[in-house]
Amino acid sequence: MTPSPGPERLERVGESPLATTRILELRNVRFRSSRRGTENDYTVIAAPDWVNVIALTADGRLVLVRQFRFGIDDFSLEIPGGVIEPGEDPVEAGQRELREETGFAGGPVHLLGSVHPNPAIQNNRCHLVLVENAELRGATEWDPEEDIEVTTVQADEVLAWARSGRITHSLVVCGLFMFEQWRAGRGCARSV
């Protein structure tokens, strides 16, 4: 049996916008396969990078937010997070989003990792930030359309909720499992 040469790196040959919204751009991107001798169009969601924040209090609780999500037409239990502004450092964005959504702040702060939310159709990354010794330090500063319930829950209970399916937001689950690895001493976090 002859070994496969592996998947082909397609050549990007053009793109054009299909729709632009306040939070993303839908693009038609054309790729060429030299192996197959074909060109095809693909739909790509061009979005800014995001940040999600695991905020750990001194007594071992995680800061959670509950809010209505239009995509699922229901409430979602999550960790704080949001859009990274152009030129903003992911760790600074995480600290800002935590303050704005919950009024919590703390430190030290670690970058647990970065993931591609859905590389099949999206071009952005989600950065996962851990804030230790989080405590309520001020008032929330919600965006006009935000309406958020803030709570703290023991970390072990939150991790159990992620494993059982009570927490369903995939990027939140990913962040919680990175946190679990960090807490067990197996994670690779960069302190800042």
pLDDT in tens, 18-45: 999 998 999 999 999 999 999 999 999 9
Mean pLDDT on 122-137:
97
| Other C-beta atoms lying within 10 Å of the C-beta of residue 18 | 12
- Whole-model pTM? 0.90
Computed over every residue of the chain, the mean pLDDT equals: 94
Omega within 30 of 0 (cis) for the link into 48: no
Q: How many CB atoms lie within 10 A of CB 5?
A: 7
Phi-psi region of 112 (alpha: psi -120 to 50; beta: other; left: phi over 0): alpha
d(CA 168, CA 157): 15
The pair of three-digit structure tokens given for residue 118, joined into one six-digit string: 């859905």
**Helix (H) or strand (E) run with residue 46 in it:** strand 38-46
Distance separating alpha carbons of residues 120 and 72, to the nearest angstrom: 20
List the domains of the chain with CATH numbers.
Answer: 11-46 (no CATH), 50-191 (3.90.79.10)
Residue with tokens 């940040």: 51
